Structure 1
Amino acid sequence: MTRPGPEVRAVIDLATAHFPPLGTEMTDIGEVRAFFAARPRAAEPPLAVAHVSDEDADGVPVRVYHGGSHEGAPVVLFCHGGGFVLCDLDSHDGFCRALADATGAVVVSVDYRRAPEHPFPAAPEDAYTALRWAATRYPGRRIAVAGDSAGANLATVLTLLSRDRGGPPIAFQALYYPMLDPARSRPSHRENGQGYFLTSDHLRWYWEAYLPEPAYRADPRAAPLACADLSGLPPAYVVTAGLDPLRDEGLAYAEALTAAGVPVEARHYAGMFHGFLSMAGALPEAAAARESAFAALRRALGAG
């Protein structure tokens, strides 16, 4: 079984110390969000990109980042992680700036409604509204969807909705350690359920908040691994981490897409943990992995 090296262990321990103990000592959503908002932030100024604006996507707040100034730049619709409960436009501002800068694309970050106040299907419907808005706002441009963790769930759900609702067309899906299976039954949930930042208690709490109605737990719009037909979806880039409880469901989804005839590039980082792409400033392997992930998007979209 893979164990983290000293440098990775130190980053995991620091991240854990600044994260609310969900599902154990802390369960009140207001308390959780206050704890999360008060965590230490990076002191360096935000990465400069060509233009950033907060906009209204037909009722859904979005933040739009222009990575370059050339006309007709492709679009990346980004859905943030946080278990459908935490995080927002600000928590992923640095990641989206880096994504826009690396690809030259227009990155549209979606501030979808969060559980438990707004359980499923609020989040995917908000994301789909933002996708339709982006396609109208930037007509004729290639559009990719991307997301981390719960946001990767929403990104791949968007490909299903696009296929089944007649568009808008999606050219590529980038899924970073996707959260796809409310059953949480695969071996990685047992092997990595404690001690690697994201825990089994977190995941149970997230899924219970997002899917209070048990009937939805097999709905492909909530649990894409439950989808019987993955054919006709856009090519995918799937990142998984060896120390992540979500490792096996990400690997399983990459395999299911491949079996359905969808081109997939799967990148597995055995010594990494959930959320590591956001730790590029602290870990050289995370920085290299993020560069590879952004390069894949750039190639797929012909951007920058």
Structure 2
Amino acid sequence: MLKAKKESNYTKGIVPVLITIFLLITGYALYKPLPEGFTISKWDRAVMHVVEPALRVAYYYPSRMFTKPSNMVQWTRGALNTLSKTLGLLVNTHGQVDIKWHKWNETPVKVYRPTNNKTSTDGAVLFIHGGGFALGNVDMYDSLVKRMAYEMKTLFISIEYRLSPETVFPGGILDCEAAIDHFFDFGAVQFGVNTSKVVIMGDSAGGNLATVIAQRRAARNSFPKLAGQVLIYPLLQMADMQTVSYRYFHSRLRGYALVDPESVAYYYMFYAGIDMDEKAYLVPSVISNGHVANHLQSEASEIMSYKSVIEMKHNYKNHSITERWEVSQSYEAQDLMEPFLTNPDFSPLMRKDLSNLPPTMVITCEFDILRDEGLIYGERLKVSGVPTTTIHYENGFHAMLNFHSELDEASKSVDDIEQWTLNAINNA
């Protein structure tokens, strides 16, 4: 009996030790030092040293195990949808925001309305979520939008557009426009807003859709005019995947759970209606710019002409950037992508006339492969005479606003966005 009791105590004692050893080994295996300048406060870096490996385990590594890119999309959707439920838990609106789902012209929208319509403005914000056209949903951005609606005391409408590969270009645009048209038709009566005081806002692929919608409304001279647009690390082009920010990723950020060139290629091509389960072999050519036909290169280069200015201003703490590598041409990829690369509804950076656009805020982050296209678009807007505010977060990274409750850098960005948006609404 005594011997059995000793063995039991031994077993109970060894289990915690084994668990501790396992966790230490796992932590050591997953540890990757963050680049210099990646977030600035000690708290933010500590958080990201936990979050980034967790993201690698949850979706990045598993998604690379699928042979079909469509299965990779499905896994990533599920993983991110689950993980998003653990974020933003500290957001408390103190019962001051009413949240209801509606369906406007067959497009679901989630409306965030200050309780008893106690708004600080008579305007509104149209929010379009990101996710590479294939990921994300309104609920994933619920805490962020809820926070902004509460802190700004302003009506927010978050749009649930259909995703690719199930719904391809221009389906997402049309979904958003259908909902927005309904709002402009009925918003004044239904919510008591002044429809000339509406700001459109989106992040990443949502920034693409927001940009496209603003451009299309400007081209049609639609009324009411938008009071402003907020573009948060927007995805704007696919004609140059060897910008400095892309090349920096290859040299320093490969293997981190951050937006990577291969994923952009997959998601953008899914959005274009290309069956990437069959055409995955094209991706290596695409990320070298081998998908750009010769007769499109001069047009693309003209639009990207500000890249030299961008390269001089931002150098990743003097980290050396690799030179552009040899283009691996793919005539098949060129044929498939030709209808899209200079189509401004697909790649809004390629629109030549930007003069009639509303006041704009462009948010960019240093550790983001989309950094350069956002910086270029901001410069082009300024040259075109559009009142433009550009804020570049030298310690920020793509999708950081999804951690607005957890990271100081992201929370500061939300504050900046709120202040600019309120000014745009009040000045309209």
| Residue 46 (structure 1) shift | 5.5
Flag structure 1 segments of 5+ consecutive residues without an equivalent: none
Task: State the distance in 2 between where 1:56 and 1:73 align.
Answer: 22
> Is it true that 1:152 corresponds to 2:211 in the alignment?
no
Within the candidate set 208, 211, 217, 2:269 is matched to 208
- Following the alignment from structure 1 to structure 2, what is the Cα–Cα distance between the partners of residues 40 and 129? 27
RMSD: 2.2
Checking the alignment, whether the CA contact within 8 Å between 2:97 and 2:146 is kept in structure 1 is no
Q: CA deviation at 1:24?
A: 3.5
In 2, Cα distance between the equivalents of 1:178 and 1:32? 20
> Is 1:32 aligned to 2:61, yes or no?
no
Residue in 2 aligned with 1:83?
Answer: 132
Q: Which residue of 2 aligns with 1:187?
A: 244
Relative to structure 1, the CA distance from residue 131 to residue 22 in structure 2 (aligned partners, 3 Å threshold; closer, same or farther) is farther
Q: CA deviation at 1:101?
A: 1.3
Residue pair 2:90, 2:405 contacting (<8 A) in 1 also: no
User: Contact 2:359–2:387 (CA<8 Å) still a contact in 1?
Assistant: yes
Matched, 1:249 2:373: yes
For each residue in 1:177-209, what CA deviation from the matched residue of structure 2 results, as whole angstroms up to 9, or x when unmatched?
A: 001112323110121252361111221111111
Within 5 Å, give how 1:281-300 maps onto structure 2.
281-300=405-424
* 2:38 is aligned with 1:4: yes
How many residues align structurally?
Answer: 303
Q: Does 1:57 align with 2:113?
A: no
Partner residue in 1 for 2:159: 110
Q: State yes or no: 1:19 paired with 2:34.
A: no
For the residues of structure 2 that align with 1:287 and 1:262, how far apart are their CA atoms? 27
Q: Which deviates more, 32-41 or 294-303?
A: 32-41
C-alpha separation in 1, matches of 2:404 and 2:80: 20
Is 2:395 the partner of 1:271?
A: yes
User: What code does the residue aligned with 1:302 have?
Assistant: N
The 8 Å contact of residues 196 and 244 in structure 1, kept in 2 or not, is answered as no
Change (3 A) 1:136 1:196: same
SS at match of 1:302: helix
> 1:166 aligned to 200, 221, 224, which one?
221
Gaps of 5+ in 2: 1-34, 40-44, 189-193, 275-335
Deviations 1:79-117 (CA, angstroms, capped at 9, x unpaired): 000000001111111111012112222111011111111
Distance 1:32 1:272 in 2: 23
Between the aligned partners of 2:389 and 2:263, the Cα distance in structure 1 is: 28
One-letter amino acid of the counterpart of residue 151, structure 1: G
Deviation at 1:242?
A: 0.3
1:261 is the counterpart of 2:385 = yes
**Would the aligned equivalents of 1:277 and 1:289 in 2 still touch at CA under 8 Å?**
yes
The alignment's TM-score, normalised by the length of structure 2, stands at 0.66
- The residue type equivalent to 1:24 in the other structure is R
Question: SS state of the match for residue 77, structure 1?
Answer: strand
Deviates more, 1:262-271 or 1:2-11: 2-11
> What's the offset of the Cα at 1:133?
1.2
Matched residue of 2:52: which SS? helix
Aligned: 1:47 with 2:92: yes
- TM-aligned CA deviation for residue 149 of structure 1: 0.4
Aligned residue in 1 for 2:22: none
1:223 aligns with 2:280: no
Match of 2:113 among 66, 69, 86: 66
Q: 1:46 to 1:293 in 2, by over 3 A?
A: closer
- 2:109 is aligned with what amino acid? V
Structure 2 SS opposite 1:34: helix
Identity %: 27
State the 1:256 CA deviation.
Answer: 0.9
TM-score by length of 1: 0.92
| Aligned counterparts of 1:244 and 1:22: Cα–Cα separation in 2 | 22
**C-alpha displacement of 1:40:** 6.2
Bigger radius of gyration among the two: 2
Q: Distance in 2 between matches of 1:92 and 1:57?
A: 19
Note closer, same or farther for the CA distance 1:291–1:19 as it changes in structure 2 (3 Å cut): farther
- How far does residue 3 in structure 1 lie from its aligned partner after superposition? 3.9
Q: Which has the higher helix share?
A: 2
